Amino acid sequence: MRKSATLALAGGLVLAACVVVPQVADAPMAKEAAAQAEAPRYDLGRPYIGGPLSGGESLIHPPPEAGSTRMTIDEEANARSLSLRGSPRWEQAARDADLGENWYGRAFSCAAGVRISPEATPRIANLLRRAGTDFGMSTGAVKDVFKRPRPFTVNGSTSCTPQEEEALRGNGSYPSGHSAIGYGTALVLASLLPDRAAELAKRGRGYANSRWVCNVHWYSDTVESQAFAGATFARLQSNPDFQADYAAAREEAASLAPAPVDEICAAEAENPGA
């Protein structure tokens, strides 16, 4: 399941990247490289819907034009992102960029007030992994239409995830699929844990903001992605498979005990947004 989701995303809708195993003469080195290549890069599941958001091109404006007020806002936010380099907020953005194992638990357990993980909350984990793929894929067609260059290719400065830059260069910036994943996940969790809705929505917005803080997206990329997340969440609610998994996740959520605040939550509270 994870491998198929990785291929779907690498096929062009979230982070168009793949791992290439180099040809090396030493057999042990080749074996180790192959093992690393097989490790799941994206902890995402089989989508409920699949494909981009229908009608997505009519949902948002075209990217800001040079010299426009919207572009000025984007440029000012980008300048701020570069001033945050090396700060705790920059480090938070790098953590939010990681879609590896249990990314949803690491990103949202603090805001949810409960421990979220495949072990502690398997039904919620399944729901978030599958819905996350739909959120990420929702922006793909519009990205291809606009093909907006990412800020790190314009300003010449590195991002908070330099290891991803080569793969991201040819992947459109507008709107942000990664932001849609984060904000959409916050919406799903807020519906499961309504008493924490404000905290989760705030964290979802901060997660989206992490993309422009990271210098891999413009501010408007992250803002517009939230509309894709909302529309995709609405679509998911009419999907029978999502409905069944959601009911199971909601039952699980009702039985969860509050989690203690730890050092990660304390650091996140100090850097909630941007």
pLDDT, tens digit, for every residue of 225-244? 999 999 999 999 999 999 99
User: Structural domain of residue 193, as residue ranges?
Assistant: 65-270
Residue 239, domain member (yes or no): yes
Judge whether 232 lies within some domain: yes
Task: Assess if residue 31 is contained within a domain.
Answer: no
pTM of the model: 0.86
Cβ atoms of 16 and 179 closer than 8 Å: no
In this predicted model, what pLDDT tens digit does every residue of 151-180 receive, in sequence order?
A: 999 999 999 999 999 999 999 999 999 999
Consecutive H or E run containing 173: none
Structure tokens at 123: 């039904």
Is 211 one of the annotated active-site residues of the chain? yes
Beta-carbon neighbour count of residue 198 at 10 Å?
11
Among 150, 178, 196, 203, the one annotated catalytic: 178
User: What is the residue whose two structure tokens read 């001033």?
Assistant: 83
Task: Take residue 70 and report the two structure tokens written for it.
Answer: 């919207």
3-state SS assignment for residue 272: coil
In a domain, 143, yes or no: yes
pLDDT tens-digit series, residues 128-138: 999 999 999 99
In a domain? residue 54:
no
Residue in 43, 96, 134, 221 annotated catalytic: 221
Judge whether 188 lies within some domain: yes
Catalytic status, residue 217: yes
Among 130, 150, 196, 211, the one annotated catalytic: 211
- CATH number for the domain that contains residue 175: 1.20.144.10
| Residue where the block lists tokens 């909630």 | 272
Report how far residue 225's alpha carbon sits from residue 136's, in angstroms, rounded to the nearest whole number.
Answer: 10
61 in catalytic set: no
Per-position pLDDT tens, the chain of length 274:
444 434 344 333 444 322 222 233 344 434 444 444 444 579 999 999 999 999 999 999 999 999 999 999 999 999 999 999 999 999 999 999 999 999 999 999 999 999 999 999 999 999 999 999 999 999 999 999 999 999 999 999 999 999 999 999 999 999 999 999 999 999 999 999 999 999 999 999 999 999 999 999 999 999 999 999 999 999 999 999 999 999 999 999 999 998 766 767 877 777 666 5
Amino acid at 89: R
User: Is-catalytic flag, 74?
Assistant: no
Q: Is 219 a member of any domain?
A: yes
Catalytic site residue from 148, 203, 217, 245: 217
Q: Do the domain assignments include residue 33? A: no
| 222 close to 73: Cβ distance less than 8 angstroms | no
The count of structural domains within the chain is: 1
